[in-house]
Amino acid sequence: MTQDHRLDLQRRERLGMVEAIWGEHKSADQIARIISALHEAGELALATRVEASKAEAVIAALAPLPQAALQLVHHPGARCLTAGALPAADPARGRVAILGGGSSDLPVALEAQLALHCHGIATELLLDVGVAGLHRLLAHLEALRSAAVLIACAGMEGALPTVLAGLLPQPVIGVPISVGYGVSAGGQAALNGMLASCAPGLLVVNIDNGYGAAMAALRMLNSGGVVSG
């Protein structure tokens, strides 16, 4: 059988991250083989963008392996699969607050949250704080000051990260979401709005890239330059 993957087993040592599997464009069999190889190497597995039907096929393919040791879990809200025990969160490393303008942002926000949990980072999820009801966000500002990093997920015009970056001093990572009416163009309006933000220092990842935002936050925490309040 031809091997169609080459694992980066030194990524944790090199970057402080576990290797993630992009699941959307891989077959269930490919994902299963990669998870099996990571398990054999004693490494945690995180597969992103795995919908329920594909997850069922992966789980079936891995059924011959000892399930108690594999600890395979599908996280439907985040559209992810994990294999292996997730580490306990260490509050001393800093807490990341993940915000969403509305419930439509939830899958991407949960992807970011799960990716951070895979690295032992404490998180807080806060939804329905979009700028259409700005008072809802303002009510949480004092609590948000204690977070080390903020990840803000927003569709439509993508204004939430700009507002946060104008009100709070810690790093803000904007995640454009592919949600909104026609002119929103699948998240392009949110992406361009965040890139054109007048709030200095706002960081922006690609559309729907919750995992990428989580890894950006992890790099900040691992650098030792970010301290929670």
Count Cβ atoms below 10 Å from residue 226 Cβ, excluding itself.
Answer: 18
pLDDT at site 68: 72
Strand-pair partners of 123: 96
89-115 in b/e form (b: 16+ CB < 10 A) is eeeebbbbbbbbbbebbbbbbbbbbbb
CATH code, domain with 47: 3.30.110
Q: Hey, what amino acid is at 74?
A: H
State the average pLDDT for the chain: 91
Q: State the Cα torsion 196-197-201-203 to the nearest 10°.
A: -70
Q: What is the model's pTM?
A: 0.90
CA angle (114 as vertex; 128, 136 as ends), nearest 5: 15
pLDDT at site 4: 61
Q: Do both 146 and 197 map to the same domain?
A: yes
Count Cβ atoms below 10 Å from residue 150 Cβ, excluding itself.
Answer: 23
Q: Do both 63 and 157 map to the same domain?
A: no
**CA 149/CA 121 separation, integer angstroms:** 11
Q: Do both 105 and 181 map to the same domain?
A: yes
Q: Do both 100 and 121 map to the same domain?
A: yes
Q: Do both 124 and 207 map to the same domain?
A: yes
Q: Which of 25, 49, 83 is the last residue of a domain?
A: 83
**Residues 96-109: what's their mean pLDDT?**
94
Give the rounded percent of residues in the chain with a pLDDT score beyond 90. Answer: 72
Q: Do both 113 and 181 map to the same domain?
A: yes
CATH code, domain with 185: 3.40.50.1970
Q: Which of 83, 110, 131 is the last residue of a domain?
A: 83
pLDDT at site 228: 54
SS3 call for 120: coil
Q: Within the chain, where are the H helices? A: 11-15, 28-40, 52-61, 67-70, 106-117, 134-138, 141-144, 160-167, 188-195, 210-223
Domain carrying residue 60: 11-83
Strand-pair partners of 126: 99
Residue 228 lies in a domain: no
